Chain A
Amino acid sequence: DGGITQSPKYLFRKEGQNVTLSCEQNLNHDAMYWYRQDPGQGLRLIYYSQIVNDFQKGDIAEGYSVSREKKESFPLTVTSAQKNPTAFYLCASSNRGGNEKLFFGSGTQLSVL
């Protein structure tokens, strides 16, 4: 089955620790995205990538980093510089950058211990 997979479903971070959220897709999509969602709020864009080895900052990139070494993978690292990391993180892909039909993963809930 084609789709987009996020792991883990739940993640806990200690103070000062970096953590990495995984996002893998087998849809052969060029573009991938990371959004953050806080309770009762809409989605806010963290980073996006329209092609391998290239990515752009979204609206709230501070405290996060990404890489896009392979077409299928777009991992997100939440660094210790992100002071309020507790949120629901969603990864998405589309068959080209700016395409409006996004396919989302099931999300990762990150909490701070």
Chain B
Amino acid sequence: DAKTTQPPSMDCAEGRAANLPCNHSTISGNEYVYWYRQIHSQGPQYIIHGLKNNETNEMASLIITEDRKSSTLILPHATLRDTAVYYCIVRVRNSGNTPLVFGKGTRLSVIA
């Protein structure tokens, strides 16, 4: 699975958009980008995933660059409850092989 690089921490004002970057310059053609988040003292929660097209769901939007070497998770109107660690993971979908590997992620602090 391709390696990802995320900033260790970010701040965002409440009500503003939070843009969380992820670099995955060694991604291969059949690898998807997955995002999870972990609120303090809870288990991680799946957010969204994508291959090359931009994706949107009720939680967030995922923007993947045309060369697929980086992506951005967007929380359009961040609230205090969005304070969490956000993990970007790249892997082949339904590979049937080893489970997901979670790095250290980005600690997002939403400030009132």
- Residues of A whose CB lies within 8 Å of any CB of B are 31, 33, 35, 40-43, 45, 48, 58, 88, 90-92, 96-107, 109
Chain B residues touching A, majority SS: loop
CB-CB under 8 A from B34, the residues of chain A are: 100
Docked CA distance A40–B100 (Å): 18
Counting CB contacts under 8 A, is B98 at the interface? yes
**Which residues does chain A contribute within 8 Å of B44, judged by CB atoms?**
43, 90, 92, 102, 104
Which of A48, A98, A104 meets B94, CB within 8 Å? A98
B96 contacts the other chain (CB 8 A) = yes
User: With A and B bound together, what is the CA distance between A31 and B94 in angstroms?
Assistant: 12
Q: Are A33 and B43 in contact (CB under 8 A)?
A: no
* B104, A99: Cβ atoms closer than 8 Å: no
Nearest opposing residue in chain A for B96, CB measure: A98
Choose, from B16-24, B53-61, B85-93, the stretch at the interface.
B85-93
